[in-house]
Structure 1
Amino acid sequence: MKKTISYTMISLLLVTSLAACGSNNESANTNANAATDTANADTTNNAAATNDATTDNAAATEGGDTKELNGKVVFLTNRTDMVDKEYTDYEKRFEAKYPGVDLQFEAITDYEKNEKIRIASGTYPDVVLLGGLIPNSDYPKYFAPLDDIKFSGDIYFKDFKSFEGKSYGISSGNSTVGIVYNKKAFEKAGVTAVPKTYDEFLAACQKLKDAGIVPLASNFKDKWPLGAWSGDVPTIIGGAADHQNKRKDTDTPFTMDNVYGKSWIIIRELKEKGFLEKDVNSTNWEQSKKDVAQGNFAMYLLGNWVINQVIDAGAPAEDVGFFPFPADNSGQAKAPLNPDWFYGVNKDGNVEAAKAFVQWMIEESGYDEFAGFIPTLKDKQPKLAQLAEFNTYNPTYFEAVAGDDAATQILNKAQIDQDAVLQEFVLSKNPQAVLDKVNAEWAKAKKQIVK
């Protein structure tokens, strides 16, 4: 479903005051924002007071009574970087509110693959993150409905992880995808204006390369950062977010002239022109954040969630910018609007305490601000100043749609790793052969799923 959001409407979603540009991302210290905060304080405080009165150290039961929350709650997380740091603070704060609960964090890498194995084996903890590899129809087998969590306001993507009228996932935060860039690197290379067309983008990349700066950090070897090229750039190119669902209707979902081929041709061209890392097979995610912060690399094509990580790696907040990726020469700014991972609750775990933790993460933890997210609560404005800059380009936003079970099942049956296919496409001397191979795998699986 296409959703065009005007500047006024999206300000509630994406924008802090333009005067906030240049402040550190934790707070936009302007009189305008202070006034806004003051105006909203009564509503926020009243909602918080109501929430505290009804949920503090208690959870609602079906009969309307309350019971004390106790026992252990384990959250399986992908944020290995927060272990012994922010998670330590979260544990202390949550347990202060719910003293009968022992909150623990378990961080793993290669999250979606390992989580899927654990869910299949029944060894997953109380709270997990839901990605896109589990069909919605399977959620009742493993997870508890979350419709009874009483948030203080409306939330984004409430029905995204639903089946038969019940919701099984709550978005941990939301984001758009574009070019995160180091303003000092642009200045050094003589790039005086943000590119608004693909040709202008290539010209900027050439100037950066000539100045001895790596234009775009792809993190090719790490693979997962390439997901934007399989999910978001196709949305930008096609002007719609349902392209992955439509694949169930064809035996050849990956072609040179459709949104996937056009997206992958772009990153292939960037590599061939020397606009990516010198050796894409030896990239390093953690090091890349430092390189972007220091201006050795100029840009990322990623979501706004990476901005705070670049700042934490040493970049002054005012030196980090964000603009829509110009995937064509139309001059029209376009961008996706996506949920991030969804919180899911193990139906056989400590369900009520786990639900309290999910609500606390959304309403009280501050994780959305730490992660640089667009908050899940619709009436909560983001604090990230770079989102305000992004919106000055008046992008048309295309809101993500829920996955189609048949398309997901075909992908799983074919065991297609889209990001791995993209890697092969970029490096192959015969990229058409790569598409032919993956299409054959898709068509074979489709025959078994779609009758």
Structure 2
Amino acid sequence: MKKSVLAATGGIVVAALALSGCSAGSSNDDGKPSGTITVLSNRTDLVDTTFKDYAAQFEKKYPGTNVKFEALTDYEGDAKIRLSSKDYGDALLIPSSTVTKDKYSSYFEPLGKTSDLEKTYRFAGDGSYDGEVYGISTFGSAMGLVINKTVWKDAGITTPPTTQDEYLADLKAIKDETDAVPYYTNYKDGWPLAGLENALGTTQGADARMKLAADKSPWKAGSDQYNIDDMLFKTVSEGLSESDPTTTNWEESKDLLAQGKIGTMALGSWAVSQMQDAAKKAGKSADEIGFWPMPWQTDGKFTSVTTTDKLLAVNKNSKNKATAKAWVNWFINDSGYAKSQGAISPVKADPAPSTLKDFQDIGVQYVELNADPKGEESLLTDIANTSEVDIFGNTYRQKLIDVARGAASGTEESYFATLNKQWAAAKTQVDQ
């Protein structure tokens, strides 16, 4: 298992992105930032505030430049449509659910060699294909449980559960001893269910993606895929989640957890600062919000998978690649965006965020998944797409919840058998 502990201190000067040369035909192709660029973003909540400040700082550093933002509410869906034309901004976040790595060069400008950039940046492999990096991580997260410590303490629990059985027993104690909903699925918004896949590798290690691609029946005891979905199924089937998941609301859920009306949500560490902000707005202490590891230990140690969030890229059809590349470089290295989100900086030299203090105190070890082998970069996605089991999406987990709560026919065993059958057939087809 490839394990590493995030650096606790920084202080060294990091190298700028080794941005490669631009192709002929661009109006601004001499490497000098100037003129206007449009940046596509999924942060509808920040484009008129924080990002506007970022633009002002960037424009001050590069006189004669102008940064405009275009926020997309349904980023993945809208960006997919935009990619069918050349009109998808100058810099943008790669829509990961629709663009596989083997297609990166069709849409995005290379930013440098993987072998060079991985020395400075975390998650370089996530944005690379065939030795070239096309997208740089905006920030990273560690996977775990965002909790209201007061709720857990009122239920008599002050240390993180070390097994799934202990975890379910703790949720039951919250249900019995408090008025809080033990666990909140965020079923309706969906994307938090997709985020559960970021726990892949918690017990199976850095090669978990290729292990999943090689497995004809991943929904069986002992695999990460089984652990993730079995825990969700049992949480719902045992009545430990919200009574009507079809009415969940992400923005409201932050306030509910901060106020102690929800005990737990499985999310990336990026969510901690948002919950802490919600707590402060509710007149409560940010210290009430905690972050514990997923309840599966390996050799008596907790492990958390660190994953990238969105990848920032440059449109290969941009007429202003020089300024777009300068924006990517500045945003990643100088904006402080990752720190503002309480997230893991993509810059290896930067310190670990305060949101991971609980992990540091517990001694959680970190796993960063290995890059897929050359020639197999799209293998796992191809199997998932062919099987129509959207392991990186939310549809099949919404169905899982429906089965668990009795709103759809079947049992956990029958549903997992169906998933395994679809997966095996798809693997056979893709392997041919």
Letter in 2 for 1:276: S
- Match of residue 22 from structure 1: none
SS of match in other structure, 2:276: helix
Counterpart CA distance in 2 for 1:393 and 1:406 is 36
- Match of residue 188 from structure 2: 221
**CA separation of 1:151/1:412 partners in 2, compared to 1, >3 Å: closer, same or farther?**
closer
Range moving further from structure 2, 329-338 or 137-146: 329-338
| Deviation per residue, 1:366-403 (Å, 9 max, x gap) | 10011111111111103x32312212222232212335
SS of match in other structure, 2:291: strand
SS of match in other structure, 2:162: coil
**CA separation of 1:191/1:417 partners in 2, compared to 1, >3 Å: closer, same or farther?**
same
Counterpart CA distance in 2 for 1:249 and 1:329 is 22
SS of match in other structure, 1:177: strand
What is the aligned counterpart of 2:250 among 266, 272, 285?
Answer: 285
CA contact (8 A) 1:59 1:67 kept: no
User: Under a length normalisation based on structure 2, what TM-score does the superposition of the two structures give?
Assistant: 0.84
| Deviation per residue, 1:95-134 (Å, 9 max, x gap) | 2222322211122233223322322344322122222542
User: Under a length normalisation based on structure 1, what TM-score does the superposition of the two structures give?
Assistant: 0.81
| Deviation per residue, 1:132-188 (Å, 9 max, x gap) | 542222111111110189989711122332222211111111111111212222233
Structure 1 residue 169 corresponds to structure 2 residue 135: yes
What is the aligned counterpart of 1:306 among 257, 266, 271?
Answer: 271
SS of match in other structure, 1:194: coil
SS of match in other structure, 2:45: helix
**CA separation of 1:311/1:262 partners in 2, compared to 1, >3 Å: closer, same or farther?**
closer
- Match of residue 358 from structure 1: 328
Aligned pairs for 1:148-187 (under 5 A) are: 154-187=120-153
Counterpart CA distance in 1 for 2:31 and 2:204 is 49
**CA separation of 1:133/1:243 partners in 2, compared to 1, >3 Å: closer, same or farther?**
farther
- Match of residue 421 from structure 1: 396
Shift of 1:421: 0.8
Structure 1 residue 208 corresponds to structure 2 residue 207: no
CA contact (8 A) 2:160 2:293 kept: no
- Match of residue 25 from structure 1: none
SS of match in other structure, 2:68: strand
**CA separation of 1:366/1:196 partners in 2, compared to 1, >3 Å: closer, same or farther?**
same
Counterpart CA distance in 2 for 1:212 and 1:444 is 45
CA contact (8 A) 2:208 2:369 kept: no
Structure 1 residue 406 corresponds to structure 2 residue 372: no
- % same residue: 32
SS of match in other structure, 2:36: strand
- Match of residue 74 from structure 2: 110
Counterpart CA distance in 1 for 2:369 and 2:84 is 27
Q: Once superposed, what is the RMSD of the aligned Cα atoms?
A: 3.2
CA contact (8 A) 1:235 1:336 kept: yes
- Match of residue 3 from structure 2: 4
Shift of 1:343: 0.9
What is the aligned counterpart of 2:109 among 118, 141, 144?
Answer: 144
- Match of residue 207 from structure 2: 242
Shift of 1:281: 1.5
Paired residues in the alignment total: 408
CA contact (8 A) 2:184 2:264 kept: yes
Range moving further from structure 2, 427-436 or 292-301: 427-436
**CA separation of 1:437/1:191 partners in 2, compared to 1, >3 Å: closer, same or farther?**
closer
Structure 2 residue runs without a partner (length 5+) = 24-28, 404-408
